[in-house]
Structure 1
Amino acid sequence: MDTFEGKEKYATLIFDEMAITQSLQFDNALSMVVGSHKKYVLSKKKTPRKPILKSVGVTRQSQLTEEGQHLYDLVTQANQTIQQLKNKMASYQERLKRAEDMAKATDFPNLLNHVSDSTYNFVMSQKVMALAVMKISGKGYRLLSKLFALPSRKTLTHLLSKLPFRAGIINNKILSSLRLAVQKMNTQERSCVLLFDEMSIEAHLQYNEKENCIDGFEDHGCRRKAAFANYVNIFMLQGACKQWKQPLMFTFNSGPINGLALKILIKTAIEKCQGVGLNIVATVCDQGLANQKAILLLKENVVHKSQTGGEQDNGKSFTVGEKSIVPLFDVPHLFKGLRNNLLNRNLHFELEGRKYVAKWQHVQEFYELDIADDTRMPTKLTDAHVYPEKINKMKVSLCTQVFSNSVGSLMWRLSKWNGIIV
């Protein structure tokens, strides 16, 4: 205690000396640049003055020169730092006092004598359950950790680092887990869809200490290339008749992936999944150029086999492992593609034996008729839905609201009235 009190007094003297020294230095420097500023102090009204400004004969910081204001800011920051250090020292003193009071408590020695040297070891099932909760909600897991004995975040992160999940071909442990899960499924539940998509990422290199390699280059698993990766391709399975999902694999690419490489990845993923007993009935992706090219290459194999008499080509599917798979484009991109085509072209179609023409002009005429009256019917339609120069072509909701049942039924009724919509 004596030692601490001596250090405390010494620290207090140091802080006070720092404050006095900085104030004196500021006074000397500021008095040199203030000069004739004293003549601007004309107000006789008594107002509270700051100690630093009062020492040089001014009442406001605006009365200082630019150099004086800079020195004033430096001294103010130094005083704030000194006050923060004093508060921190007071906090240490308070914590030390609490620790001393606890050490003097009669029950404290008994508590030390009965503490177990061994820590609580969570079993794997508990860690997996805690990991699932943490992935659902990080804030919720922190709240539950205060109420229950749960593994720390570091423990769960260490558990994830043990999973060998690298770029490229599907991990064997994932296939083993899938095989065990498939054995418990019936024939209908084994039907699933392969989803794949591409997204851009920021190029970044990081040393992987566990694998003794550098991550961030182009990596397809079977081959790596000394090029910075700024795109990633992700593959995932989703049940067609039962709600379940399973991530499969990912690859890093330098720029968008080409169609031939994507075709090889799709075929490999399907063959691996078929090997564990899954029945992939379709693939789903967006209308990217690489996706369209890969699907065309997969269909070319079917065309080649049909020409040689091996299989019959219907032009709507491709074959992997003697099973027909239908390629599909995701609905949001289909909506956007339909709308974007209507902006520049007319749609000719036949309904009940009669030929019709659909134009984007019809949508504009319908919208202008609707906004001409205060009692609007499709209230969600705005200029951003209708006029091409105002349409955000990446927003799916602008498409679906135009092609909704309410808008379509009203347009169909108006089209039957003479002279409104041709």
Structure 2
Amino acid sequence: GCDAGYNSCKEKHSLFRAPANASLFEEWDRAIPRADKRLQENSAVCSQHFDDRYILRANRLVIDGKEVFHPRERPTLRADAVPTIFPNLPSYLTKQLPKERKRKAKTSPQGPPQNKVRVGSGDVEELPAAQVEEPQIDQHAAASSAVFTANLHCPSDFWSIQLFSDRPCLISYQKARFLPERKPPLLLEKVVLFETDETKRTQCMIYLNGLLHQEKTVTSVSDADDVLNCVDKLRLCAGVGESREFSVDIQGTSKHLFGTRLFSDRCMGAVTGDGQRSCLSCKYFRQLLKGRQWRVKTKAKRPLDTAAKKLGRALRTLKRKQKAVVTLLERLNKMKAQNEQICKEAFEEQLKKLPKKQQESVRACFEASKRASMRGYKYNRDWLLECIILRMKSARLYEHLRRHKILVMPGRTCLLQYVKNFKATFGFNGNLLRAVKAKTRAMDEMKRHGGLVLDEMKLSAHLDLSASSTIQGFVDLGSFTPKDQRHTKADHGLVLMFQPFVGKWTQVIGVFASSGNVKADLLTKIVTEAIILCEQSGLLVDYVCCDGASWNRAMWHNFGVHGSATSVRCKAAHPSDSSRFVYFISDVPHLVKCVRNQMMKTGFNTQNGRVHWEHVVATWKCDRSDVTLKAAYKLTRAHVFPNGFEKMRVDLAFQVFSPLMLRAFMVHQKEVEQLYPNLKVTYEFVALMVDFIRVMTSRFPARALRPGKAQEHVIDTVLAYLDDWERHANGRGFLSRSTSEGLRVTLQSTKELLAYLTQKVGFQYLMTSHLSQDCIERLFGIVRQSAGANDNPTPAQFCVIMRCLSFCSLVKSTRTGNVEPGVLESLLSPQADEVSGRRDSPEPQMDISDLGAVDSIVDHLPCVSESSDAQLIYYAAGYAARKKISTSKCEECKALCLLKQCQVPETLPAAATKEWDMGGLLYPSKELYKLILTLENKLTQVFSTCKLHAGLMVDVVSALGGLPRIGCPEHAECLTKEVTKFYCVTRLHFFLKGKNKTDAEKKKKMQKNV
């Protein structure tokens, strides 16, 4: 058989993957005489099995009548290539192809033919035979020579032509309309795009009113002219109307906004009939919006409660509380009688001899010994804080100590009641900032200096129903939430964290849920607000650190920060203190990864010479033997040939730019020079990166950055190297704009931060590891681990986890000091959140007071689009009866709401319940079934007609009216409310679960299609 591609084969041959064309794939499969294995999609065939005429090894250019051959970088096959040669098999299996006709030599043309459009001076063809090897070809010139639509005749003077510098094969003919109220005041109402691909095939795309009208292939100049003339004669659709004409919410509708006018997403952009202004799709869409606007105006508002019902409910609550007070007083008197024999003063005197932490635990143990049960016991606040911290560190250890009664500790639900007062929502939390302010009062000023670190992580788009019947999982940016995104699912989480220059503690400042990344303008406002709130809480913000994402760079530019060879601006005016500045820093590990990835891709054209990644590859190959000793023992295949995930690992990039790599270069210099000369340039570049990493990642005082020392000189050296490199490269072989700008701004900010901290704050040195995003990456690792088996946490999980982490970082004492007992009082005390004017949406009032106040509701639509089967509704009524009626102590209520199987009348749809009954199902009465049927119809109507949003339960409650009562006269109202609330909440749970499942299936299907 063929041994090409194996290590045993010394000769190197080109490999060609099996064709994607189905017919050509079958022809290859028939041509290859192999019975043990059929041809597969990922199979490859070497160049030995193809005739030379099928292999294109060079491009032939005809310029001014002369042929010029440019070798291809990689050989390729002709479109009709089929394997015909099999040297190691019997000769009859090799097919002899007919001799190729001799190609006539091309002479210099006197002028272009009359029936063709001449685009350029050159012609490009593929040369089958190989005569030169590997190089690069100017694809821009080759592509532009194939465009024949560059000089078409415009239908009128109102048409214009547009060329693109980055897409030479793309030409646009367009007709614009002037709108003075727009900026810019031009609107392209007709656009015809001609694009020529590598095979000289020209594709035409027609856009009318911003919508794709038609897509076709043109083969000649006449075809292209016909297309332009036809488009010029088309009458444009007037659309639905102006967007301001409709006052209803149109975000969830199938619409297209072009300028200030609305169009249906099914609109083709043009009308065909005479006298028509809009197409049928736009007409129907306008009727739909008008009807919706009319229904919104005529919708009646229903009162949710009445004063009489509220008063009755309050009186019943007061009566229960009074009974509880009497019971507690009786128990308290008994306890006092038992404690009379103990001398409290003597006990406290002995207790003071213990450490403060032990005093709390011993006092709790003695208090517990005097009680028959710990139910209703109010724990000391200091002891509660210790229990909360202990459970955060290890939930298993906490449960072990509590269950075995080693220590007296509150249960999980008791702790949650206290932690709930520390309400952590998306946005900036007032309770959190007040606790931070209390904590910073006892801290030294030097320990309060630091920076703001921000980053985003991916979340799973998922909706959850909270305990307050509010749907969670939508975009929540606090007071910065755009109105058009309030009903959009969140799939990203943004975290802002404060990181000090001194110490290992960090503090989460703000948490946000967004759809995609937060845009630069909005991110600028959030960062400014965070800096102001940190300063008000006692935290002194001196820098802002982020990664190199495009929206973060745009945020820099909004602050006026930029970096180039001619000008570097690394700071902005401080929003809280006019005498200070805020410095901007890009994450150093991210910059190192970008440098490594670009070096792998193209190499660098430095002022000292060419830096090649092949030097690293050759060094690894010389050093990878397991038999001999290794100079770079940490270097693996993942360092040299990383996959998509390994390119994101910081440790792999740092180990490439490490002293181990320099040692390996020195040891294997001769072997590497024989394969790839000029190793010295790569050695010097890696050495410079080693010094840069060492200076920008110092973690202990011995290697810290000090003014006037060698570390500061390294920063100046790197800045000068970047300037000389950019001038020499002249746009070729240099870093990307984002990476070079990040390096310049980061290095300049580090220098100026060092001068500010040492001259004005009193620092002796700066540990640069506190200028990176390592702290927030560790935080995201904890969040992902806490989310369980999910790929990414849901927005609700993300909010809960960040609440615990914010709480934990506050209650932990710093290593160099203690937190006073009264500092964290705000964590366990409910207070109003007054940050940034945030207004939380009111929780839905599920306790319906007057069920008979409203006879009916105004339907949103003439009919409900979907409805549940009656047999399933009867089965669900039995489930509600088991949860709320079977546990009732009133026998009369049970008799009125439940029936025996033999008592069920034929009018009730109980056939399915009887079929599924294995001895434990309940059979609701006619009144209970009627109540559940009414609720199901109302809920189905709301689910079908209302857009999904956080306060959907409010819409459900507002739709309920005229519900039939169940139970005895004494308990009818209370029992009806309980069943109604239980069924509505349960049904909403089922609805959200199905919605999440459907969305997940759609997402999975789209990923497969991609």
Query: What interval of TM-score do these two structures reach, taking the shorter chain for normalisation?
Result: 0.5 to 0.7
More helix by share: 1
Deviation per CA, 1:90-133: give whole Å up to 9, x if none: xxxxxxxxxxxxxxxxxxxxxxxx96366443212211111111
Q: CA deviation at 1:189?
A: 0.9
Q: Is the 8 A contact 1:271 1:320 kept in 2?
A: no
CA apart distance, 1:411: 1.9
Residue 499 (structure 2) pairs with residue 241 (structure 1): no
Q: Take 1:319 and 1:274, find their aligned partners in 2: how far apart are those partners?
A: 14
Q: Is residue 377 from structure 1 mapped to residue 621 from structure 2 by the alignment? A: no
- SS of the equivalent of 1:284 reads strand
Most deviating of 200-209 and 406-415: 406-415
Closer/same/farther in 2, CA of residues 158 and 265 from structure 1, 3 Å limit = same
Q: Does the CA-based 8 Å contact 1:383-1:390 persist in structure 2?
A: no
Show the counterpart of 2:537: 276
Q: Which AA in structure 2 matches 1:204? A: H
Distance in 2 between residues matched to 1:230 and 1:418, nearest whole Å? 48
Q: Note if contact 1:217-1:227 (Cα within 8 Å) is conserved in structure 2.
A: yes
* Matched letter for residue 362 of structure 1: H
Larger deviation, residues 280-289 vs 382-391: 382-391
- Out of 363, 371, 374, the position equivalent to 2:616 is 363
Q: Per the alignment, do residues 391 and 347 of structure 1 end up closer, same or farther by CA in structure 2, a change over 3 Å counting? A: farther
Q: Deviations over 1:58-94 (max 9, x none)?
A: xxxxxxxxxxxxxxxxxxxxxxxxxxxxxxxxxxxxx
CA–CA distance in 2 between the matches of 1:142 and 1:200?
Answer: 32
Structure 1 match to 2:601: 344
2:461 is aligned with 1:203 = yes
Aligned to 1:153: 412
Residue 422 of structure 2 contacts residue 432 of structure 2 at CA under 8 Å; is this kept in 1? no
How far does the alpha carbon of each residue in 1:156-185 deviate from its partner, in whole angstroms, 9 at most, with x for none?
2222222122212x2222222222222222
Structure 1 residues 375 and 267: alpha-carbon distance in aligned structure 2, compared to 1, 3 A threshold = same
Counterparts of 1:110-149 in structure 2 under 5 Å? Answer: 116=372, 119=375, 120-145=377-402, 146=404, 147-149=406-408
Report matched runs for 1:168-183 at 5 Å.
168=427, 170-183=428-441
Query: CA distance change for structure 1 residues 413 and 328 in 2, over 3 Å: closer, same or farther?
Result: farther
- Displacement of 1:195 after TM fit? 1.3
Letter of the aligned partner of 2:545 in structure 1? V
- In structure 2, what residue type is equivalent to 1:358? V
- Summarize deviations over 1:178-210 as a string: whole Å, max 9, x none: 222222222211111211111111122234445
Q: Is the 8 A contact 1:193 1:281 kept in 2?
A: yes
Residues 356 and 182 of structure 1: CA distance in aligned 2, closer, same or farther (over 3 Å): farther
CA shift at 1:246, angstroms?
1.1
Establish whether residue 405 from structure 1 lines up as the match of residue 666 from structure 2. Answer: no
Aligned with residue 252 of structure 1, among 509, 513, 536: 513
Q: Which residue of 2 aligns with 1:226?
A: 487
Alpha-carbon separation, structure 2, partners of 1:255 and 1:389: 25
User: In the alignment, residue 647 of structure 2 is paired with which amino acid?
Assistant: K
1:192 aligns with 2:450: yes
| CA distance 1:266–1:140, change in 2 (3 Å) | same
Q: Which residue in 1 is equivalent to 2:587? A: 330
Aligned residue number for residue 165 of structure 1: 424
Paired letter, 2:444:
N
The share of aligned pairs that are identical, in percent, is 23
Give the partner amino acid of 2:655. Q
Aligned mates of 1:175, 1:161 — CA distance in 2: 16
> Aligned partners of 2:371 and 2:414: how far apart in 1?
22
Cα displacement (A) at 1:416: 8.8
Structure 2: distance between partners of 1:290 and 1:232: 15
Distance in 2, Cα, partners of 1:275 & 1:364:
53
Letter of the structure 2 residue corresponding to residue 134 of structure 1: R
| TM-score calculated relative to the size of structure 1 | 0.63
Shift of 1:396: 2.4
CA contact (8 A) 2:622 2:668 kept: no
Partner Cα distance (1:183, 1:381) in 2: 49
The verdict on how the C-alpha distance between 1:217 and 1:391 changes in structure 2, with shifts beyond 3 A counting, is: closer
Q: State the 1:248 CA deviation.
A: 1.0
> How far does the alpha carbon of each residue in 1:385-422 deviate from its partner, in whole angstroms, 9 at most, with x for none?
11356882122222122222212233256559994552
**Cα distance in 2, alignment partners of residues 115 and 280 from structure 1:** 51
CA 1:418–1:396: 2 relative to 1, 3 Å = closer
* Deviation of the 1:332 alpha carbon: 2.9
| 1:232-280: CA deviation from partner (whole Å, max 9, x where unpaired) | 1111111112222111111111222211111111111011112233221
SS in 1 for 2:630: coil
Residues 271 and 390 of structure 1, relative CA distance in 2, 3 Å threshold: closer
Cα–Cα, structure 1 residues 417 and 387, in superposed 2: closer, same or farther, change >3 Å?
A: closer
Residues 153 and 284 of structure 1: CA distance in aligned 2, closer, same or farther (over 3 Å): same
SS in 2 for 1:295: helix
CA contact (8 A) 2:454 2:496 kept: yes
- 1:418/1:132 Cα in 2 relative to 1: closer, same or farther (>3 Å)? closer
Aligned to 2:559: 298
* Counterpart Cα distance in 2 of 1:268 and 1:398: 37
1:307-326 to 2 correspondences below 5 Å = 314-321=568-575, 322=578, 323-326=580-583
For residues 203 and 390 of structure 1, what CA distance do their matches in structure 2 show? 24
Identify unmatched segments of 5+ residues in structure 2.
Answer: 1-369, 679-1010
Instruction: Measure the CA separation in 1 of the matches of 2:373 and 2:656.
Output: 68
Aligned partners of 2:539, 2:652: CA distance in 1, in Å?
37
Amino acid of the residue matched to residue 635 of structure 2?
A: L
Greater displacement, 229-238 / 269-278? 269-278
Aligned to 1:71: none
- Match of 1:253, as an amino acid? S
CA contact (8 A) 1:343 1:388 kept: no
Distance in 2 between residues matched to 1:192 and 1:374, nearest whole Å = 48
For structure 1, the residue ranges without an aligned partner over 5 or more in a row are 1-113, 304-312
| In structure 2, distance between residues paired with 1:132 and 1:115 | 26
How far, CA to CA, are the matches of 1:294 and 1:139 in structure 2? 44
1:36-74 CA distance string (max 9 Å, x none):
xxxxxxxxxxxxxxxxxxxxxxxxxxxxxxxxxxxxxxx
